[in-house]
Structure 1
Amino acid sequence: MALFARYRIGMSRVLVLLLIVVLLFNGSYWDQNNWIVGDIAAVIGLTLISIASVGRLWCNLYIVGYKNRELLSTGPYSMSRNPLYFFSAVGAVGIGLVSESLLLTGLIATLFAIVYPRVIRAEETHLRKVHGASFDAYAARVPRFWPRWSALQEPEQWTVYPREFRNHLSDVLWFVWAAAMLLLIGSLHARGILPVLWWMP
């Protein structure tokens, strides 16, 4: 689990690529049986991906350049100790819904619920060692995962590290790229360019 915590971004990208490979030959069950369900799922999915992308961009604005220097407790980090993971969960569910597979969406949500709490606990153990009582005080007032929106505190100004921030933009955009790939695959299925080998509800 410590290995996953350290390489979670790279491993998440690998899982998404594997997912796309699987979906290359998967057709939407709902397109064949009740297209309205599939279309509504895709619209909700794209909405969640938009929220996740903006949310992760917001988090990166605060954390990039500060992560290993100080304990963040402002901006999105005043509402949740792990807002990046929260928005990642929103984006992951969004990707499942864009695939128009409720089964796949449920599987993604379940995997996230099983793996990421352990990753979060491992990271918090590290933060507690580094920041001691400051982290304990922070943990006592800020929820671990689900944001408490009413607790938002933001400064009038914040120093951004442009080069580091730019290097992290791909961390935000991969949800969008994955959704675009799923939409392209759906279009290729509809035109008969890619064969459909199975139908996933």
Structure 2
Amino acid sequence: MGDAAYGLWPLVVLNTLLFIVFAASFFHPTTQRDWRAMGGYSAFLVALFTEMYGIPLTLYLLGSWLGSRFPLLKGTHAGGHLWNDLTGWSGDPHLSPFHLASYLAIGTGFWLIAAAWRRLHEAVRHDHLATTGPYAWVRHPQYDGFLLIMIGFLLQWPTILTLIMFPILVYVYWRLARSEEHEVATHFGEQWAAYAERTPAFWPKLRHRPTGSHPSPGDARQRHRPATGR
């Protein structure tokens, strides 16, 4: 594969750092658990951009297997848009349904991380449990945000390594969320139990907006990165 669009290691470093710093500016990691969440996200980006601009390992592997059936897999940079090639999309790969869906997922993910942090920061500042905004829909909106960004990149530029990493990171975030919930349940008691009963962890109930989303003045102090936050 002699495509000049590969082997661009400065772009690998630049894009990786850009998306890491961008996410960190919204996420504001402070605790060890926060940095673990950022670490998983960062590892995903390193694997992604290494194949996008560095060494196209997925194309090497799939090209030898499927190259005769899908010509783009033989070595062009456009072959990295695997969903387009595998489904026969012949237009501009950046305007394909997969790419447009990826923009929506990535943008929504960053918005969710930022919106959730603002609600969490406000709740901590006023000694409230964060139950408004994104927290009225799910208990861990910022983790959802990270997963949406990763899904967006998988729609845009799937690789064997990132497809393997994604379910592992889902499990990692689930474990982090469970750990946070245990601590917050101990700290908040019945207030947390009532909130957890009406609010799903990751997947929102779309039939109706959750009730009781406004914190009461008697709420106990919430930890800076609570189970309700991720």
Distance 1:147 1:103 in 2: 29
Which protein shows a greater Rg? Answer: 2
2:194 to 137, 145, 148: 137
TM-score (structure 1 length as normaliser): 0.62
Distance 2:168 2:101 in 1: 20
Pick closer, same or farther for the CA change 1:67–1:17 going to 2, 3 Å: farther
Q: Which residue of 2 aligns with 1:10?
A: 38
Q: Which residue of 1 aligns with 2:168?
A: 111
How far residue 35 of structure 1 moved from its aligned partner, in angstroms, is: 5.5
How far residue 135 of structure 1 moved from its aligned partner, in angstroms, is: 0.6
1:36 to 83, 89, 103: 89
Distance 1:67 1:96 in 2: 34
Percent identity, please: 20
Pick closer, same or farther for the CA change 1:141–1:85 going to 2, 3 Å: same
Q: Is the 8 A contact 2:41 2:146 kept in 1?
A: no
Q: Which residue of 1 aligns with 2:48?
A: 19
Q: Is the 8 A contact 1:96 1:102 kept in 2?
A: yes
AA aligned opposite 2:49: I
Counterpart of 1:36 in 2: which secondary structure? Answer: coil
Pick closer, same or farther for the CA change 1:104–1:94 going to 2, 3 Å: farther
Pick closer, same or farther for the CA change 1:49–1:116 going to 2, 3 Å: same
1:89 to 120, 123, 147: 147
AA aligned opposite 2:55: F
How far residue 127 of structure 1 moved from its aligned partner, in angstroms, is: 0.7
Pick closer, same or farther for the CA change 1:44–1:108 going to 2, 3 Å: farther
Pick closer, same or farther for the CA change 1:82–1:118 going to 2, 3 Å: same
The Cα offsets for residues 60-106 of structure 1, whole Å up to 9 and x where unpaired, read as 2211243484311122111111111122211111012221x264563
Distance 2:32 2:160 in 1: 25
Q: Which residue of 2 aligns with 1:158?
A: none
For the pair 1:55 / 2:74, whether they are aligned, the reply is: no
Counterpart of 2:130 in 1: which secondary structure? Answer: coil
The Cα offsets for residues 23-72 of structure 1, whole Å up to 9 and x where unpaired, read as 32224354766561863322221121122122222212211243484311
Stretches of structure 1 lacking an aligned partner (at least 5 in a row)? 156-201
Give the alignment's Cα RMSD to 1 decimal.
2.9
Distance 2:147 2:87 in 1: 27
Distance 2:32 2:167 in 1: 17
Distance 2:161 2:155 in 1: 8
Counterpart of 1:145 in 2: which secondary structure? Answer: coil
Stretches of structure 2 lacking an aligned partner (at least 5 in a row)? 1-30, 57-76, 215-230
Distance 2:97 2:165 in 1: 18
